[in-house]
Structure formats: C-alpha cells, structure tokens
Structure 1
Amino acid sequence: MRSDTGHRLFLQRQRLAAARIGPDPDAPAHRALQPGQARLAIEHFALTANNITYAAFGEAMKYWHFFPAAEPGEGCLPVWGFATVVESLAEGVAVGRRVWGYFPAGSHLVVTPGRVNAGGFVDAAPHRADLAAVYNHCAWCDADPGWQPALEGLQAVMRPLFITSFLIDDFLAEAACFGAEQVLLSSASSKTACATAFCLAQRRGQPGAPRVLGLTSPRSMGFVRSLGCYDDVLAYDALTGLAPGVPTVYVDFAGNAALRRAVHEHFAGTLKYSASIGGTHWDALAAAGTSASLPGPRPTLFFAPAQVKKRSSPPPEGWGRDGLDRRLAQAWNAFTTAATGPEPWVQISHRSGPEAVLVAYAEVLSGQADARQGLMLSLA
C-alpha cells in the first residue's frame, strides 16, 4: 500500500471548537480499494458559515453520518469542493476525471459509484443509502453546465448556498409569503442570507412582493447595505425599532435562541411564519428556552432536500427535474452576474496546509471571517 497518509479535519461533535488534523482514513496508506470503488483526491473545498450549520445540526440532520469518524465523539466536517479520480475499480469511472461534490474536509474520499452516467454518479456506499440523495451525487465537471473554470472559487463557496437560497425563495413564494408584508433575515451578512435576499429582491415590483429586511452586526452593516438586495438593514439591537404590527416572516440563519425569542415576542400576533435555516450563532442555539414556549408560530426547520424532491416531481406540484435545473441555472447565472460585478460580493482567498485549515476553521466558527471573503482550502 502507498505511503500517502493524507490529512483530514476532525471535530468534537459536542465541542465544535475542539478541532484537529489527523491522517485521512481514505488515503492510500490507510485503505485499499475494493472492487466497485474509486478514490478521489480532494483538491480544494469551500469553508463558510454553512459548514458550521452542518456541524451544529450534525446530530439532528444526520450530517455526521455521511463521513463517519472512527474515534468516538468525533465527526468529519462536510464541505463542497472539487476532486479528481486518482484510482478506480469502478466501471465507467476513469482515472483523471474531475468531479464536483459533497466531501469531507480532507485530502481523500473512497466512493462506491452507482448509477454512473454522462452527468456523474451517486456514491452508493451502504452507509449513505438512507441519507439525503442530493448530497450523494458527484458531477463530472466537464459535463456540468454550471461549471466555469474562471469562477470555480465562486461556485464552491456560493453555489450550494445559492441552491438553498433559491429553494427558500421558492418555498415562500409558493406560500404567498404566508400573507406577510416583509421578510426579516437574521445573520444578514452570511452568504446564504445574502443569496436569499438576492432571490427575494428579484420579485420587487410584483404584486404581493415583500420588503426584505436584514439583521446583522454593526461591523457588517456597510457590506450588507452595499449589496442592494435588502430594503433595510438594522443592527441586532435595533430590532425594537421595527413596527410590531407589520405581518412578518422570520428567516433565521443565525440560530441564536435569544434573538429568535426577541423576534417572536416583538412581532407577537403578526409573525406569520418562522423558518429555521442555519446556526451561524452556533454557541447560542439553546440559550433562551425551548421553541415550544415561544409566542406565535413554532419555528420550522427548512430542509432544502425536501423542497428539491417536491419541485423535481412532475407537474402540477413540481417542475420535473429538467424544469428545476433550468430555473436554477437561470437564477444562478443572474446571481453570478451581480456577484462578479465591479464590486464583487465574494473575494476568494486560497489557503492550504493543515495549520492554515485549522486557522480558517477557527475564524469561521468564531464569526470573525470577513463577510466579503470566500475561503477555498486545501489539505492535499
């Protein structure tokens, strides 16, 4: 067996700040391929607040199950990135082909390709059979219409988040925004919130289109306002300045329980819907009582794969898979045009090596990462 031990990021599931870099269990030195398997060398991957959400909801949403860690209490952080097939005993999977997919934050991944076709393949490893299918698909880069080499960093950082944002917008539009006149987004500087605000803003001028409001930290207000997607941007402590009688939908990207309670209590009887999306404020997820005790509608976790499944179904409920892909591609192209303008929304920062990855993870976990920066990391 080869000597390449690779590297992988491991986290303590119950103490997310406890992180270490260890040998990658899927590297050539630690795992020989079995018939039907292939080994991917992970070239680089994005790290955003969305990955912190994966960790914060790792137990409830089974994110830890995708890439099991051998040590009790540890987990492998899921990320989105690019990899190359470096060994293959799987039919139809050629060495040298490049793929885009959902990987562990590491240097390697052994997959069991199934349903191999012109677009890519599904990782049919037995432990992934009952997990959300959207995360199990790997796309061939040379067959992906959304892949642009010059925008690869933007794709890795923003495309998975944008898909979630597109689906949130679609979900709210389908429900006529639950009769609300405004949508309030927490953690408004987070990339998923910004992309959601962009999608919502595309409806300006249409009958019933809601105003889009953002809550963020004082240091991020200038950046959030510069995007032009929000009708108003407020600091968290300015929440009470909003008129409490306006019918409102709350889209919670922060996951801060104290903030959620403040929003529910402020809008009381006029809060039409409360959607829980992320956990950027991961250290305050359970700080202010249970959701059951909140006034107004009970917060509902938005699970993007469920909306994908619904919209992939045939009409009238869905658009069919081709219809969903077409609408998503149109929205993504509009977003990339805006995000790569004279003042880019995201400035890609490349970092490599174990120490650099640990530092970057600590920055994102603590909320200290620059909102305009997109991190592309490598443990190769």
Structure 2
Amino acid sequence: MAWDFLVAKTDLRQTQFQPATLPDLGEGEVRLAVDSFALTANNITYAVFGEAMRYWDFFPAAEGFGRVPVWGFATVEASNHPDISLGQRFYGYYPMSSHLTVQPRKTRGGFADAAPHRQHLAAVYNQYSAVGAEDDLEAARAILQPLFITGFLIDDFLDEHAMFGAGSIILSSASSKTAIGLAFLLKQRGGAKVVGLTSSRNVAFVEALGFYDQVVTYEDLATAPMATPAVFVDFAGDAAVLGTVHRRFGDDVAYSCLVGGTHWEAPRGAGDLPGPRPILFFAPDRVKKRQEDWGPGGFETRYGAAWSAFVGDAPRWLKVETGHGQDALAETYLSVLEGRATPETGCIVRP
C-alpha cells in the first residue's frame, strides 16, 4: 500500500500516515519506490524553514500539512520514459513517502525532475543521480552527503574571502553533522583556530573527532578565551547564542553566517546586535555560482575529492542505526526532532 508521512506545519510533533493513490503514469513519467532515506537535524531545518524557504513546495500535501524532504535512494517501479528502465536506482531528494512520481529530463549522471511545480525551486534539489546496487557506503552517503556539501560550500566561501582575517572560526551546534563536515575541512585548510560550541553532554564526542582546535560549552561562551577576530557560523539558529557571540566580540566579529536551526524551538532573531549583520547562507546559490565559475565537471571534481576523504573517515565516529516500516519512521522522526538521537548516531529508515 502506498502512503505519505505528513507533518503539521504549525506543530512539528503532530504527524500522521495517510494512504496515497498511485496515479496512472503520463507520457514520460516514472514512479519510484523509496528504498531508504536518512533522518538528521538537517531535515528538521527543512521543516522549520518550510514556508520561508519553500521546502514544503517540493512535495505538496493536504492543507495544513507538509511532507518533509529527505535524502535517500529509490528504485524505478514503473516507467513511461524511454531512457529510464525498471529496476534502476537513483539517489536524491524524496518525501517521507513510499513512492514518488517524477517527470525525468535526462542529465549526464541521471535525471532532473521537470515536474512543473518544481521548476521555480532551487535546481540542486531536483537532481537525481543514477547509482548501482547497494554498497557499504550507501547509508553514510544518505546521512552525510547532503550535510557535507553545505560544509564544503561554506569552507569554499570563507576561503574565497581569506577567512575574513579570522583568528578563530566558531561553529555552534558543533556536534551536528553539518558542522562536523565544515570542521573537517577547516582543520585540513589550517590557519584560523576551529572552535566548536556544544552542550556539556557532547563535549567528549566533539573533542574525540579531532577536527576542532578548541571545544567550548554554551555555558562558557561568554568567558572562554578565543582568538579574535572571530567568524561565527551558526548552525543552531538560537537567538540567545547568536546574541552572546555578538555582544562578547562586537566589532571583532569579522563575519556572522546563519546556516541552520538545530535549536529549532529556541527563539530566532536576536534584534539589533553589535558587530556586522548576520547573513543567511543559502547553499543552492553557492552551488550555482561555483558551477558557473568552475565550468563543466569542475564542481563535481572538487567536491568529489573532498567528500571521498571525509566519508572514508566517517566509520571512525559514525554509528548507523536502521529502522524498518512506519512505526520506526514515526519514532525516528520524533527522536531526531526532540534531539534524543546521540551525535554519533546516523538514522536510516527503510519504508
């Protein structure tokens, strides 16, 4: 039976499964059966910013509800497209549903979904990559790759601006997987000190990663010694943390970068702050710029090299947990939403 997992837009804890009708395929359409997907804090960010950044628009749902986007794998179950065959597998952006119908436009490595309702949305989310049979790194790819690419883009942005002359680059929510990816890259690049802000319960994990030069708890943020000028990369989206950083460093904040909302229930927007105005980082815009700057294949080559090094190290600290079926999906979603998943855990759901 086909189904959708729906989340109330005004109360992210309110969820339900709804039976879905699988329509007859039109000319050129393909139906994909979802094999597996990852659930991370990144997906909660999609829900938190669902209206503001149009994430709800990718996979429409009943009034008042949304289908949270996830990254994962699916197999072609039915095809009316001459170049897409039954049994082919694709990695990409899916709803938390059993199936997705797409209108493929062939690309070099797979296809782009040309469905009319997706054409005004960020193109990077419409790309699907052909993959072979499942391998040992498939779970890590679903969990980490969508997050690592954001870290890769931020690292590239900071490098383009010579790190804004920073003595330290401070990352909030340092145990989040996006922050871990960025810290990995910054540590390799060298120069500015990489400082991780985290809760006291996660200090040991963050220190053991080896990617941060200094780990500071939120309680010690106002007083712990940190090199200046400071660049702040905010994955938490917490007004209190953002305010503390700006009030402490003032004009010594060289750049303030807003990325995510892992502290999704905390108030956002800290009002007037000392130092520079925080700027939202939107990864799809950076992808588009670098694809133009680096030419055909240039982005993929640079990103691929960085990703290979990162994913090769991931088994050292990442523990994959896999759940099967609707009950596991509902429980895993709430666990991630409420921050009960430990930072070393990567959650995979098989519908």
- Same fold per TM (> 0.5)? yes
1:365 aligned residue (322, 325, 337): 337
Partners of 2:226 and 2:139 in 1: CA distance: 41
- Show CA shifts across 1:216-251 (max 9, x none): 111111111000000011111010123477210110
Question: After the TM superposition, which residues 223-234 of structure 1 pair with which residues of structure 2 at under 5 Å, given as runs?
Answer: 223-234=205-216
Partners of 2:199 and 2:226 in 1: CA distance: 21
Partners of 2:12 and 2:82 in 1: CA distance: 39
Note if contact 1:279-1:285 (Cα within 8 Å) is conserved in structure 2.
no
Alignment match, 1:221:
203
Matched, 1:45 2:37: yes
Name whichever of 348-357 and 30-39 sits farther off: 30-39
Matched, 1:261 2:243: yes
Partners of 2:112 and 2:263 in 1: CA distance: 33
1:30 positional shift: 3.7
Note if contact 1:7-1:354 (Cα within 8 Å) is conserved in structure 2.
no
1:336 positional shift: 1.7
Partners of 1:321 and 1:355 in 2: CA distance: 44
- Letter of the aligned partner of 2:79 in structure 1? S
* Structure 2: runs of 5+ lacking an equivalent: none
Note if contact 1:250-1:271 (Cα within 8 Å) is conserved in structure 2.
yes
- Show CA shifts across 1:30-52 (max 9, x none): 42211111100000000000101
- Show CA shifts across 1:176-228 (max 9, x none): 11121110000000000011100101112xxxx21000011111111110000
Structure 1 length normalisation: TM-score?
Answer: 0.89
Alignment match, 1:18:
14
Matched, 1:178 2:133: no
Cα 1:118–1:176 shift into 2, 3 Å: closer
Partners of 2:226 and 2:287 in 1: CA distance: 34
- Letter of the aligned partner of 1:63 in structure 2? Y
Note if contact 1:245-1:270 (Cα within 8 Å) is conserved in structure 2.
no
Partners of 2:134 and 2:151 in 1: CA distance: 21
Partners of 1:368 and 1:233 in 2: CA distance: 21
- Show CA shifts across 1:297-319 (max 9, x none): 11111111111111111xxxx21
Q: Secondary structure at the match of 2:257?
A: strand
- Show CA shifts across 1:64-94 (max 9, x none): 100011x211110000000000001122111
Alignment match, 1:85:
76
Matched, 1:63 2:55: yes
Q: Secondary structure at the match of 2:347?
A: strand
2:28 aligned residue (36, 42, 66): 36
Partners of 2:349 and 2:87 in 1: CA distance: 21
Q: Secondary structure at the match of 2:189?
A: coil
Note if contact 1:311-1:321 (Cα within 8 Å) is conserved in structure 2.
no
Matched, 1:300 2:317: no
1:54 aligned residue (24, 46, 49): 46
- Letter of the aligned partner of 1:141 in structure 2? V
Partners of 1:157 and 1:16 in 2: CA distance: 21
Alignment match, 2:289:
310
1:118 positional shift: 4.5
- Letter of the aligned partner of 2:129 in structure 1? A
Note if contact 2:30-2:78 (Cα within 8 Å) is conserved in structure 1.
yes
1:151 positional shift: 0.6
Alignment match, 2:65:
74
Alignment match, 1:356:
328
- Letter of the aligned partner of 1:298 in structure 2? R
Q: Secondary structure at the match of 1:312?
A: helix
- Show CA shifts across 1:317-370 (max 9, x none): x21241111111110111122223xxx221111101111111111111111111
Alignment match, 1:8:
4
Partners of 1:285 and 1:62 in 2: CA distance: 21
Q: Secondary structure at the match of 1:282?
A: coil
Aligned residues: 351
Note if contact 2:167-2:227 (Cα within 8 Å) is conserved in structure 1.
no
1:125 aligned residue (102, 107, 115): 115
Structure 2 length normalisation: TM-score?
Answer: 0.97
Root-mean-square deviation (CA), in Å? Answer: 1.4
Partners of 2:312 and 2:342 in 1: CA distance: 22
- Letter of the aligned partner of 1:203 in structure 2? R
Cα 1:54–1:285 shift into 2, 3 Å: farther
1:285 positional shift: 3.8
Alignment match, 2:124:
134
Partners of 1:337 and 1:84 in 2: CA distance: 26
Matched, 1:319 2:288: no
Partners of 2:64 and 2:273 in 1: CA distance: 32
Partners of 1:134 and 1:87 in 2: CA distance: 24
1:148 positional shift: 7.3
1:133 positional shift: 0.6
Matched, 1:151 2:106: no
2:318 aligned residue (330, 346, 349): 346
